[in-house]
A and B are shown apart, each in its own frame.
Chain A
Amino acid sequence: MMLTDLTIAQAAEGLRKHDFTAVELTNAHVEAIGALNGRLNAYITVTADQATEAAAQADRNLAAGDAPTLTGIPLGIKDLFCTKGVRTTAASRILGDFTPPYESTVTANLLANGAVFVGKTNLDEFAMGSTNLTSAFGAVENPWRRNGDDTPLVPGGSSGGSAAAVAAHLAMGATGTDTGGSIRQPAAYCGIVGLKPTYGRCSRWGTIAFASSLDQAGPMTRTVEDAAIMLAAMAGHDAKDSTSANIAVPDYRAACGRSLKGLRVGVPAEYRAPGMSAELQAVWDRGVAMLREAGCEIVDVSLPHTKYGLATYYIIAPAEASSNLARYDGVRFGDRREGASLDELYERTRHDGFGEEVRRRILVGTYVLSAGYYDAYYLRAQKIRTLIQRDFTQAFEAADVLLTPTAPTAAFGHNEKPEDPVQMYLNDVFTVPASMAGQPALSVPVSLDSTGLPLGLQLIGRHFDEETLIAVGSALEKAADFTARPTFRAGAAA
């Protein structure tokens, strides 16, 4: 077995038994990145030298017996987390060579837990997208291919680089952020595990903001146990984020393999959307059967406002984005375009610096917040958001966890992206409602479709009950026995 094939749990054990060193583990990943990143473009920035140095320190700490869980584990960091002294781009031109003089809380927590960062992963610009095609640093290729078909496929988004890196074994795990599905949908497209924690579980401080009432950081890994290990290191109260919850972080790993006897799994009727493929329906049914077999009770639940989730999201998220992105003005940091007047400087800087999708969302957000439209759009959307949250509160009276598909389709080709933005937004139909209500949710790869691409199922939990997601997710993972690996991965690349 190659070092890049290990899970985080296996590698942590191997390091402690001195089967290999942290430097060897990191170098194996850096070499794999060297071999494959030219093709996959999963990383915007590779920090090989810093990683080797950090790994050497990890080896000294392991030898001294002072080694928290993630000591020496090579991780990819979505390039939306500010990393001290390492260029942070948000995959946008507007940030130029921005090099943060500070470390985000989530990455600082991971560093304190001993993790080694091998690089900054690609994403949709400012995390706005479901394909990773909007990155100013180029598209990411999904390491999977359809059977007998070499068409490059999207990895999903916005955490597409993180998903591709983990799937191709170019990192043992990676951080993602999820605003409307940006951890779960790429995890499903790339056949890995993605966990969006409860809003407030991980600090948002130092993570470049998209929509502040929705943004939440989480782990992307190859197993549910690894997600539990990473989340434990990332989560926790932070006085620098007032929405960060002052609630103790449990031992998530202990929830793996917990008995599911009598646990109630809800199947929301409204997610059986018209037009769902028979194949996806069958995978969902199989997931239900697996959980029944594991001792769960299956119950029907209703989330009546599901069909309004996406439209509500596409008011709230752009509104918050238009406000958050007002800071990119070419004055204090980032790339500047000169102008004769201050307004001209702003307008040129923001025209050239932002890509088309980001501009579109800022404009929609500006519109729905503008005088005369605020009540009709933004205020109405906030009220419907209340109704969406009530749906979940009611569903969780009858069920302990919900099971749904993660995304309506498997990954599609770079050239098969819908031209109409509204069609594109439909990708998030199953992930957005949980985001709107702040619920934690987990995507687990379950099977391959008829073309050989991974499909994932989503578990949605009660606020701050990531443990149940991990318990049920690990059971689903065990029953599904998803062992397929992508065409392009460390050691197997053509």
Chain B
Amino acid sequence: MSLDLATTRRIAKLARIGLDDQEIETVRAQMGGILGWIEILNEVDVEGVPPMVGTSQTTALPQRQDAVTDGDRQNDVLANAPDREGPFFTVPKVVE
């Protein structure tokens, strides 16, 4: 299947990956190839087949108690921040 440039740009935008024109074209061609190959799945009859969401689990996954089990680790949490101000992560100004 072939993928058009506009769709490719939209997907790159959704994924927040900046691509220049040449990269968009390369990605368009390669994704088209992959999606074309995947079309083999259309020949499978999936009528009435439930989707699989887990693997070896036959019972529902457990839920833990909704209680605080950890905390007071502000410095651990911020230790790897590329930029911080006091106890905060920083980002470019979002609201003018």
Q: Which residues of A are found within 8 Å of B68, using beta-carbon distances?
A: none
Contact residue among B40, B64, B73, B91 (Cβ-Cβ distance under 8 Å from A342) = B91
Mark out the residues of chain A between 352 and 399 whose CB falls within 8 Å of any chain B CB in the assembled complex: 354, 359-360, 362-364, 366-367, 370, 377, 379-387, 389
Say how far B90's CB is from chain A's closest CB, in angstroms. 8
- Given A350-B16, A367-B35, the answer on whether A200 and B55 have CB atoms closer than 8 Å is yes
Task: Check: A281 CB closer than 8 A to any chain B CB.
Answer: no
Say how far B5's CB is from chain A's closest CB, in angstroms. 13
Contact residue among B7, B31, B38, B62 (Cβ-Cβ distance under 8 Å from A377) = B38
Query: Are the CB atoms of B92 and A363 closer together than 8 Å?
Result: no
Query: Are the CB atoms of A386 and B50 closer together than 8 Å?
Result: yes
Task: Check: A147 CB closer than 8 A to any chain B CB.
Answer: no
Q: Which of A10-18, A185-193, A306-314, A473-481 binds B?
A: A306-314
Query: Are the CB atoms of A364 and B56 closer together than 8 Å?
Result: no
Task: Check: A485 CB closer than 8 A to any chain B CB.
Answer: no
Query: Are the CB atoms of A464 and B80 closer together than 8 Å?
Result: no
Interface 1/0s, chain B 17-29, versus A by CB < 8 A? 1110000000100
Q: Which residues of B are found within 8 Å of A436, using beta-carbon distances?
A: 55
Q: Which residues of B are found within 8 Å of A345, using beta-carbon distances?
A: 91-92
Task: Check: A34 CB closer than 8 A to any chain B CB.
Answer: no
Task: Check: A343 CB closer than 8 A to any chain B CB.
Answer: yes
Task: Check: B6 CB closer than 8 A to any chain A CB.
Answer: no
B interface size (C-beta, 8 A)? 49
Query: Are the CB atoms of B38 and A315 closer together than 8 Å?
Result: yes
- Given A308-B41, A362-B15, A422-B37, the answer on whether A99 and B30 have CB atoms closer than 8 Å is no
Query: Are the CB atoms of A387 and B12 closer together than 8 Å?
Result: no
Q: Which residues of B are found within 8 Å of A384, using beta-carbon distances?
A: 41, 44, 46, 49
Query: Once the chains are docked, how many angstroms separate the CA of A335 from the CA of B15?
Result: 18
Query: Once the chains are docked, how many angstroms separate the CA of A158 from the CA of B15?
Result: 24
Query: Are the CB atoms of B82 and A383 closer together than 8 Å?
Result: no
Q: Which residues of B are found within 8 Å of A382, using beta-carbon distances?
A: 51-53
Task: Check: A347 CB closer than 8 A to any chain B CB.
Answer: yes
Task: Check: A452 CB closer than 8 A to any chain B CB.
Answer: no
Query: Once the chains are docked, how many angstroms separate the CA of A102 from the CA of B79?
Result: 12
Closest to A463 in B: B56
Query: Once the chains are docked, how many angstroms separate the CA of A379 from the CA of B52?
Result: 9
Query: Are the CB atoms of A342 and B92 closer together than 8 Å?
Result: yes
Say how far B54's CB is from chain A's closest CB, in angstroms. 7
Query: Are the CB atoms of B41 and A242 closer together than 8 Å?
Result: no
Say how far A302's CB is from chain B's closest CB, in angstroms. 16
Mark out the residues of chain A between 325 and 346 whose CB falls within 8 Å of any chain B CB in the assembled complex: 329-336, 338-346
Q: Which residues of A are found within 8 Å of B4, using beta-carbon distances?
A: none
Query: Are the CB atoms of A239 and B55 closer together than 8 Å?
Result: no
Q: Which residues of A are found within 8 Å of B83, using beta-carbon distances?
A: 336
Closest to A388 in B: B52
Closest to B8 in A: A363
Q: Which residues of B are found within 8 Å of A307, using beta-carbon distances?
A: 40
Contact residue among A101, A311, A330 (Cβ-Cβ distance under 8 Å from B38) = A311
Contact residue among B11, B34, B61 (Cβ-Cβ distance under 8 Å from A366) = B11
Contact residue among B17, B37, B92 (Cβ-Cβ distance under 8 Å from A311) = B37
Q: Which residues of B are found within 8 Å of A102, using beta-carbon distances?
A: 76
Query: Are the CB atoms of A464 and B56 closer together than 8 Å?
Result: yes
Query: Once the chains are docked, how many angstroms separate the CA of A431 from the CA of B66?
Result: 38
Contact residue among B18, B31, B62, B63 (Cβ-Cβ distance under 8 Å from A364) = B31
List the 3 closest A-B pairs by CB distance, nearest first: A438-B55, A347-B18, A382-B51
Binding site for A on B (CB under 8 A): 7-8, 11-12, 14-19, 27, 30-31, 33-35, 37-38, 40-42, 44, 46, 49-57, 61-64, 73, 76-77, 79-83, 89-92, 94
Known: A200-B56, A322-B15, A359-B27. 11 other contacts (CB 8 A): A199-B56, A214-B55, A243-B54, A311-B38, A331-B81, A334-B82, A336-B83, A350-B15, A360-B34, A366-B11, A383-B49
